[in-house]
């Protein structure tokens, strides 16, 4: 399992928020400290020298792997 915690920006906006991306094989979880975007959108973040883009489609139930509190779980 890989876990990436850092600042992520909603594509097209300039206000970064703390977020967590968890990749475990084909299972992906994404959590971000914000109000919970219900429409499909993309979030951009980086970890070291690697950049990531996560496409989301509304909120989802939180999984068991998250470490951040007070976050919205997104359907990826």
Q: What is the pLDDT of residues 16-73, one digit of tens each?
A: 999 999 999 999 999 998 876 778 999 999 877 888 999 999 888 888 888 888 888 9
Domains of the chain, by residue range, sit at 2-74
Strand stretches in 1-76, DSSP E: 2-10, 17-24, 27-32, 40-47, 50-57, 72-74
**Residue 29 has which token pair?**
């979880």
**Residue positions counted in the chain:** 76
Q: Are strands 17-24 and 2-10 parallel, antiparallel or unpaired?
A: antiparallel
The pLDDT, as a whole number, for residue 37 is: 74
The pLDDT, as a whole number, for residue 9 is: 93
| Helix residue ranges, H only, the chain | none
pTM for the structure as a whole: 0.86
Q: How far apart are CA 2 and CA 4, in angstroms?
A: 7
Contact (Cβ atoms closer than 8 angstroms) between residue 56 and residue 43: yes
């Amino acid at each position: 399992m890989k876990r990436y915690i850092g600042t992520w920006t909603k594509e097209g906006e300039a206000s970064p928020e703390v977020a967590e991306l968890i990749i475990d094989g084909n299972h992906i979880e994404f959590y971000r400290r914000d109000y919970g975007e219900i429409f499909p959108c993309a979030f951009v973040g980086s970890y070291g020298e690697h950049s990531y883009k996560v496409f989301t489609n509304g909120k989802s139930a939180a999984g068991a792997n998250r470490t951040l509190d007070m976050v919205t779980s997104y359907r990826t």
